[in-house]
Chains A and B, each alone.
Chain A
Amino acid sequence: MNKDVKALYQSVILQHNKAPYHYEKVEQSTHEIAAYNPLCGDKFVLYLTISDHQIASAHFHGYGCAISKASTSILVQQLEGKTPKEAAALIREYLSIVLEGAATDQEEFQAFAVAQQFPGREQCATLSWQALEQELPTIDQDDIHREESNE
């Protein structure tokens, strides 16, 4: 078996693929974000619950390859406790590592940076992150409006 491909999958990806973090549908979430890649059929829904201006909890469910599932698992794990603005910064950091080769010492992010070298797999590593990035401004606005209407 090709050792480069094996290296891509490493322990981080395999681990999160086998035991993904908060992998379930959540009826009561405040926000649902869909991430879909029509080229391969990978489809995840992120379930976020915003309260106290923070992402109080994050879950996800759906269908996808090991890379997309593992990267989404790491995303929801890292989102919890962050404000929408902090989440946006996190996503920017991740994407600059995975898409632009920026250096990092975070082992988890490093694993996905390797995806760049493999034909057609970059999108797997960024699918949910980019989908959420697009929705964050709206989530942030929703949060501000809720605050204003509560005052």
Chain B
Amino acid sequence: MHDPLSYRSQFPIFTHHPDLIYLDNAATTHKPAVVIQAIQTFYEKQNANIHRGVYELGAKATQLYESTRAKTADWLGARMAEEIVFTAGTTAAINLVAHSFLEPKLTAGDNVVISAMEHHANMIPWQQACLRKGAELRVIPVQADGRLDLAQASQLLDNRTKLLALVHISNSIGIINPIEELGEMASKHQIPVLVDGAQSIAYYPIDVQDWNCDFFVCSAHKFFGPTGMGFLYARNEHLQTMSPWQTGGGIVREVDFDQTSFAPPPTRFEAGTPNMAGVAGLNAAIDFVQTLDQTTVSAHLQSLRIYALERLQSIKGVQVLGTASPASGIVSFVMDDVHPHDIASFLGGANIAVRAGHHCTQPLLKYFGLAATTRASFSIYNTKDEVDLLVAQLQQIQAFFS
């Protein structure tokens, strides 16, 4: 049985803000003391540039960096550490794939398939590549209950599809997409698959080989790690054929003024001094996530969502977007005649943190005929009581505006 309060005490932010009812975890998660400590320890005791120093501190820093790479690979079920490229986050990872993998392969008349519920980060890089190359961006439609239309999906994937890019769990409506099923459809045409795991990796088991996915992207700050840090998992066969995205130091073999030969992956894709403290934080965040029992945690999030849905839908004039299951602990809703911004301000005044806006999914919201929603998103330290407090405030807000 998951006990959120026992987790709350591990997160210093709640000591400093004891009245905070934080329901904006899809935007960013809070950090446990162990992660904050790991970053501090790195700067206090372990700081040195990696891959270069032949002194003890440098060697240790390198070891921390590379062992974190191996740990990440293990965590994802990858075959080798070299299939993990550290990046600044999910957006950077996707841009890397768009630039170095997709665009060289894309010709006029090809297509790229995404879903209608993608975050702008997993949509715009592909859209722009298609525009540059005269290729078509195809969109798997979403249905009224929030589920993807799988029948349509199979129609859209064909022999000219160069990539299927898909979100695992929607950051706006919380729907969990059937990655395995869609991956199988893609494999019929040998289409490479990229999965955006930003909202799922904290709570759900990922096995990139089981899923047969070619690329997987995520950000550390969504799973209790630091900002400015994330990674790309990519199958070795792909990385071997990819040219560097950003060039500079740290990725080279031999350099002359007229030409440069590049290092093998993953080093080839990590130009410049990396975010070493970020990797130290990532390392501690992975350790932390691995102490969680994912079965009870995901059950907890799903039960919070079900409870929230029930209570929200009992408020007059409130509608939840995307009520299908399976879904995770993310709930978007609207209230008749009251704009999400006003709702969020009132909730903010009561120390309840939610998000109002389009959540970087403008096309998805347009489908539902909306410009903005209010979004509540839960994590391991959230409780049913907090949902009750949210609902109580919403009832007052509804009364105030009517």
Q: What residues make up the interface of A, taking CB atoms closer than 8 Å to B?
A: 1-2, 4-6, 8-9, 14, 17, 39-43, 63-67, 69, 118-121, 124
Contacts and interface: CB of A to CB of B under 8 A. Distances in A.
A2 B349 contact: yes
Interface stretch (B1-9, B106-114, B225-233, B337-345): B337-345
A2 B19 CA distance: 14
Interface string B362-402: 10010000011000000000000000000001001100110
Contacts of B401: 14, 17, 66
Contacts of A14: 400-401
Interface in B340-365: 340-342, 345-346, 348-350, 356-358, 362, 365
B121 to A, nearest CB: 16
Contact of B339 (A8, A39, A65, A120): A65
The binding surface of chain A is classed by DSSP as: mixed
Given A41-B357, A65-B339, A5 B345 contact: yes
Contacts of A40: 340-341, 356-358, 372
A63 B371 contact: yes
B339 A1 contact: no
A67 B349 contact: no
21 contacts: A1-B349, A1-B396, A1-B400, A2-B349, A5-B345, A5-B349, A40-B341, A40-B358, A41-B372, A63-B339, A65-B339, A65-B340, A65-B341, A65-B342, A66-B338, A66-B339, A66-B342, A66-B401, A67-B341, A118-B348, A120-B341
Nearest to A124: B341
A17 B339 CA distance: 10
Contacts of A6: 400
A130 B338 CA distance: 24
What 9 A-B pairs are tightest by C-beta distance, nearest first?
A2-B349, A41-B371, A5-B349, A65-B341, A65-B339, A41-B372, A66-B342, A1-B396, A65-B342
A67 B396 contact: no
B372 A1 contact: no
A119 B356 CA distance: 13
A56 B125 CA distance: 47
